[in-house]
Amino acid sequence: MAWISRYALFHLYYTIPVASLLHFILSPLRTRRDDFKIFFLCAMAFTCSVPWDSYLVRNRIWTYPPASVLGTFFDIPIEECFFFAIQTYITSSLYIILSKRVLKPLHLVAGSRKKWQVTIWTGITGLGFLLGAMMVYEGGRGCYMGLILAWSMPVFGFILYVAGSFILSLPFSFTGLAILFPTIYLCVFDALEIRNGTWTIGKATSTGWKVFRILEIEEAFFFLVTNGMIVFGLIACDKAFSVLDVFPPVTFPSESTLSQLIKSHVVALSFNPSSSHIDVLEELEIASEILKKGSKSFYFASAGFGDRCRITLLNIYAFSRVADDMIDNARSLEDAEVALKDMREYLNTVYSGSPFASGSQTIDDQCGKAPKNIAEEEVPKEYGFPSLGRAPSFVPQDVFMQLVEGLEEDLEFMKLGFQRFGTSIPGANANDNDNSMGARNFGVDAEELLKKLPIQTEEDLIRYCRRVAGTVGQMLVWTTWDAAYCVPPLPLRALGPSSGNKRHNKTAETGTPGWILARASDMGVALQLVNIARDIMEDARSGRIYIPVSWLQKDEEKAFVYFLLSNSQNPDASQFSLPILQRLSLRLVSLAYRYYALASPALGHLPEEYRKGAKLAVAVYMEIGNEIKRREGDVRKRVVLDAKRKLLTGAGVLWGREQYGPFWW
Ligand SMILES: CC(C)=CCC/C(C)=C/CC/C(C)=C/CC/C(C)=C/[C@@H]1[C@@H](COP(=O)(O)OP(=O)(O)O)[C@]1(C)CC/C=C(\C)CC/C=C(\C)CCC=C(C)C
């Protein structure tokens, strides 16, 4: 016997390279759940296939020349045993990669409307089993096909029974591809090996029908059903996880033993949302739509977080977006003030009784306390805010309160009575459409106006950014801690000074939860500065200028800002102020990169499986800063990244250099 068998060479040439490629693609986005699913499916595939395949070999339904294999296990070539695992690995990895962008829990609701289709398909599997059993009983040329049917249909029937509606509601574009691609691939190379004589299909027990005249129909059908079983099995796991993600209080006690955990997963698998659960799922659908419409960059990046984490991020985004819009689009100062009052009341209501409610709690106080499950249904609907989901169980209320304070700062602009409500700036020239700044006597007016602006110094700017975006960074960190460790106290201990990534532990404080939260706030500041740089013109149109007055040293700079505000319905910086606009936006971007540099080492201290997601969110947004830089600060036209640019940036983060940074670094 040669040192390597023909069957082993088949793996070396055709299965191992594809498996390695998919492994490489998936690695940066791999989660513990993905590992569990792959391991579970491989174990199932092995356990179910060995007795069945052993029967096939012993009954000469398929055979192999002894010299073409390395050894046997229950009469099955060991290469064939390896095949069970590697096929499962390939198909599972492909499914997991393709399904990353889909928020699976959203399909629990659509799935609950497909009862009839499920009944029909489950019935078909029953008939398939009977047909297979009859064919085996009859023996002869239908035997191999009958064995495939009788073996696989009960598995399909069971999975369809417990997760059928969920399976049917997922987009066929990725479930179908995950089944068909490996099927076609394996068919091609199987046909090649049969032609080479590496293995043979028994003529007496197969129909003799061939697909495209090259491959026995039984072989093609075998690959189709095995890949189908793998994908359906993965979807069933996803259904259980989705239920636990959306309805944790229903099934998931916080202090769980292994047996409780297994039980809750089994319960989740057979759980079908009733009308009382639909509300929660619809809220999630709304949140997802808000993110999709509100921020293409973050919608894209959200696929980098596992579903559990992603759901909370959607909730946080939806709440914050609606809150921000309520202030931005308020018709009067009074309306805006009412909205702020409502936000605070809403937060007090959803946080009542939570260990994370505002008060004297310190991080130490929160250690050891299980999160309270907030009953959202107790929150009056008239507030009009999207649900905060589970966030109040692990994000401190103070963080949200600071965000509201940040939004409140925007009211200062309104109080100045800019064009926002159709009034003009105190002292501004009546002819607002006159863009010839030079002709206007702005001297005294401009000085007066600038003194009243809310953002006077760089500290004011940073304080504002910390409130509206630093808080978001901190929420993101708390969310990853919850998703990774389930019970909030764990990360606080696990990420203490004695643990974590030693490489970054340069000072005593580095790596501690407090340090991570501080750096997350810096990262929020960096992103908000990019946001401000990009939106200078748009913000001016709403009567807001976030550029610190202390940056405006020269008269022409003061005049420029005065011009932007006093012509806020029609600011056209192209006339003679473009260099000033460029200078100011570039200064904002370079300040953003200073904060980015301060914060980025902390990304490596987030729970491992969420690091790439956070890096993705940051990188895609910071890329806007890069684009502003590339345009030399000309932000007259709003900078928007196209899908290709986002994909390339994302790919760079996922499979490229470890440290994302601007191109000149
Ligand atoms: C990835 C993901 C799904 C995140 C969702 C969370 C999120 C982005 C919430 C934003 C909530 C929001 C609308 C707050 C109101 C204040 C505001 C307008 C903030 C600006 C966001 C931009 O949103 P917008 O809808 O305007 O988007 P477009 O510009 O139109 O595309 C901000 C710029 C804030 C963004 C700040 C962050 C995402 C925080 C970044 C921090 C981290 C990723 C933490 C890193 C961790 C460490 C330890 C360093």
347, 330 contact by CB (below 8 A):
no
The pLDDT, as a whole number, for residue 502 is: 37
Candidate of 329, 403, 472, 588 to mutate for ligand 1, largest count of ligand atoms within 8 Å of Cβ? 472
Q: Do 531 and 467 belong together in one domain?
A: yes
Reference 105, options 277, 258, 275, 292; nearest CA is 277
Cβ atoms within 10 Å of 387's Cβ, excluding its own: 22
Q: 401 C-alpha vs ligand 1 centroid, how far in Å? A: 16
Find out whether the beta carbon of 513 lies less than 6 Å from any atom of ligand 1: no
Residue linked to tokens 């075998």: 222
Q: Provide φ and ψ at 73, rounded to 5°.
A: -140, 115
Average per-residue pLDDT for the chain: 84
Q: Are residues 466 and 524 in the same domain?
A: yes
Q: Which of 260, 290, 308 is the C-terminal boundary of a domain?
A: 260
Q: Tell me: pLDDT of 569 over 70.
A: no
DSSP letter for 529, please: H
Phi/psi at 72 (5° precision): -130, 160
If 0-12 CB within 10 Å is exposed, 13-18 middle and 19+ buried, where does residue 451 land?
exposed
Lowest mean pLDDT segment, chosen from 91-100, 177-186, 277-286, 483-492: 483-492
- Measured between alpha carbons, how far is 584 from 593 in angstroms, rounded to an integer? 14
Q: 107: part of which helix (H) or strand (E)?
A: helix 107-111
Cα(472) to ligand 1 centroid in Å equals: 6
For residue 433, tell me if it sits in a domain: no
In terms of Cβ atoms closer than 10 Å to its own Cβ (0-12, 13-18, 19+), residue 160 is: buried
Query: What six digits make up the tokens of 57?
Result: 């070999």
Is there a single domain that holds both residue 416 and residue 341? yes
Assess whether the C-beta atom of 516 lies below 6 angstroms from ligand 1: yes
User: 484 falls in which pLDDT band (50, 70, 90)?
Assistant: confident
Spell 617-643 as b/e; 16+ CB within 10 A means b.
bbbbbbbbbbbbbeeebbbeeebebee
Between 458 and 573, the more confident residue is 458
Residue 434 confidence (pLDDT): 40
Domain CATH code at residue 545: 1.10.600.10
Domain match, 76 and 124 both = yes
When pLDDT is averaged across residues 212-238 and rounded to a whole number, the result is 95
| Pair (532, 599) in one structural domain | yes
Q: Which of 432, 504, 462, 531 is closest to 659 using CA atoms?
A: 504
Identify the weakest region by mean pLDDT among 5-9, 338-342, 374-378, 547-551: 374-378
Q: What contacts 350, CB < 8 A, 6 or more positions away? A: 374, 376, 379, 388, 392
SS3 state at 539 = helix
Which amino acid is present at 214? I
Q: How far apart are CA 237 and CA 565, in angstroms?
A: 56
pLDDT for residue 536: 93
pLDDT digits (tens, 9 = 90+) for 242-251: 998 888 654 4
Say if residue 349 is in the same domain as residue 231: no
DSSP lists the bridge partners of residue 76 as 73
The residue segments making up the domain with residue 57 are 6-260
Q: What is the pLDDT of residue 380?
A: 55
Q: Residue 53's pLDDT is what?
A: 95
Domain count, the chain: 2
Q: Is 254 exposed, middle or buried (0-12, 13-18, 19+ CB in 10 A)?
A: middle
Ranges 194-208, 276-290, 439-453: which has the least confidence? 439-453
Residues 56 and 161 in one domain: yes
Which band of pLDDT confidence, cut at 50, 70 and 90, is reported for residue 426? very low
Q: Is 526 close to ligand 1, i.e. is its CB under 6 Å away?
A: no
CA–centroid distance, 621 to ligand 1, in Å, is 9
Q: Coil, strand, or helix at residue 99?
A: helix
* Between 554 and 589, residue with greater pLDDT: 589
- Decide: 617 in ligand 1 pocket, CB within 6 A: yes
Residue 367 has φ and ψ, to the nearest 5°, of -60, 135
Residue nearest to atom 47 of ligand 1 (CA): 520
Return the residue whose CA atom lies nearest to atom 49 of ligand 1: 520
Q: Are 397 and 357 in contact (CB under 8 A)?
A: yes
Distance CA 519, CA 371 (A): 25
Q: Whose CA is nearest to atom 15 of ligand 1?
A: 320
Q: Which run of H or E residues covers position 280? A: helix 275-294
Residue 94 reports pLDDT greater than 60: yes
Reply yes or no on whether the pLDDT at 75 is more than 60: yes
Sequence-separated (6 or more) residues with CB below 8 Å from residue 463: none
Q: Which amino acid is at 225?
A: V
612 lines ligand 1 (CB under 6 A): no
What does the buried/exposed string (b/e) look like for 168-199 if buried means 16 or more CB atoms within 10 Å of the residue's CB?
A: bbbeeebbeebbebbbebbbeebbebbeeebb
401-419: pLDDT as tens digits? 999 999 999 988 888 765 4
Kindly give the number of the ligand 1 atom that is closest to the alpha carbon of 535.
29
Mean pLDDT of 354-369: 59
Mean pLDDT of 73-89: 95
Has residue 483 got a pLDDT over 90? no
595: in domain: yes
- With tokens 């989705």, the residue in question is 242
C-alpha distances in angstroms, 438 versus 176, 499, 560, 576, 580? 65, 61, 10, 10, 15
In a domain, 273, yes or no: no
First-last CA distance in the chain: 57
Residues 134 and 146: beta-carbon distance below 8 Å: yes
Q: With a 6 A CB cut-off, is 476 part of the ligand 1 pocket?
A: yes
pLDDT for position 368: 44
Mutate to test the pocket of ligand 1, among 101, 290, 295, 529 (most ligand atoms within 8 A of CB): 295
Looking at the CA of residue 599, tell me the nearest atom of ligand 1. Answer: 49
Nearest alpha-carbon partner for 624 in 537, 533, 536, 544: 533
How far is 315 from 348, CA to CA, in rounded Å?
17
Higher pLDDT: 148 or 263? It is 148
- Does residue 345 fall inside a structural domain? yes
pLDDT at 218: 96
Q: Name the DSSP class of 345.
A: H
pLDDT tens track for 521-532: 999 999 999 999
- Greater confidence (70 vs 657) lies with 70
Has residue 472 got a pLDDT over 60? yes
Q: d(Cα 58, Cα 385) in Å, to the nearest integer?
A: 66
Tell me the C-alpha distance between 530 and 621, whole Å: 8
pLDDT at 420 over 50: no
Q: What is the pLDDT at residue 596?
A: 96
The per-residue pLDDT for 424 is 39
Condensed to tens digits (0 to 9), the pLDDT of residues 580-590 reads 999 999 999 99
Q: What is the 8-class DSSP label of residue 432?
A: T
Integer CA distances (angstroms), 129 to 50, 121, 146, 147, in order: 20, 12, 8, 9
Alpha carbon nearest to ligand 1 atom 23, residue: 295
Are 213 and 289 part of one and the same domain?
no
- Distance, CA 298 to ligand 1 centroid (Å)? 7
Q: Which one-letter amino acid corresponds to residue 609?
A: E
Task: Let me know: does 639 contact 631? Beta carbons within 8 Å.
Answer: yes
The secondary structure of 167-213 as a DSSP string is HHHS-HHHHHHHHHHHHHHHHHHHHHHHHHTSSEE-STTS---EETT
Token pair recorded at residue 5:
């068998």
Residue 455 within a domain: yes
What local confidence, expressed as pLDDT, does residue 513 receive? 86
What pLDDT, on a 0 to 100 scale, did the predictor assign at position 21? 97
Looking at the structure, tell me whether residues 239 and 284 fall in a common domain: no
The reply to whether ligand 1 has any atom less than 6 angstroms from the CB of 91 is no
| Of 566, 546, 532, 547, residue with least CA distance to 638 | 532
**Is residue 342 scored above 80 in pLDDT?**
yes
Please tell me the predicted confidence (pLDDT) of residue 497.
Answer: 37
For residue 546, report the distance from its CA to the centre of ligand 1, in Å: 17
- 232, 260, 288: which is the final residue of a domain? 260
434 within domain boundaries: no
**pLDDT tens, 310-319?**
999 999 999 9
Taking the C-alpha atoms of residue 335 and residue 536, their distance in angstroms, rounded to an integer, is 25
Q: Which of 225, 260, 295 is the last residue of a domain?
A: 260
- Does residue 206 carry a pLDDT above 80? yes
Length of the chain counted residue by residue: 665
| pLDDT at 135 exceeding the cut of 90 | yes
ipTM above 0.85, yes or no: yes
Provide the token pair at 296: 């293409």
Please tell me if the CB atom of residue 206 comes closer than 6 angstroms to any atom of ligand 1: no
Which pair of structure tokens corresponds to residue 64? 């192999």
562 & 452 share domain: yes
The pLDDT of residue 440 is above 60:
no
Tell me, yes or no, whether 288 and 200 share the same domain.
no
Place of tokens 């499962």: 88
**237 and 299 in a common domain:** no
Atom of ligand 1 nearest to the CA of 323: 15
Taking residues 340-368, report their average pLDDT.
74
pLDDT for the residue 23? 96
- Burial code (b: 16+ CB inside 10 Å, e: under 16) for 29-59 equals bbbebbeebbeebbebbeebbbeebbebbee
State the pLDDT at residue 248. 66
**Does any domain span residue 371?**
no
**Residue 384 burial (CB count, 10 A):** 11
DSSP 71: -
**DSSP tag of 588:** H
- The confidence band for 619, taking pLDDT boundaries of 50, 70 and 90, is very high
Ligand 1 atom with least separation from CA of 324: 15
Per-residue pLDDT for 505 more than 80? no
- Residue 658 vs residue 60, higher pLDDT: 60
> Does the residue 225 lie in any domain?
yes
Q: How far apart are CA 294 and CA 661, in angstroms?
A: 25
> What is the DSSP code string of 582-601?
HHHHHHHHHHHHHHHHHHGG
**Crossing angle of the two packed helices 217-246 and 172-196, in degrees rounded to 10:** 150
Strand, coil or helix: what is 252? coil
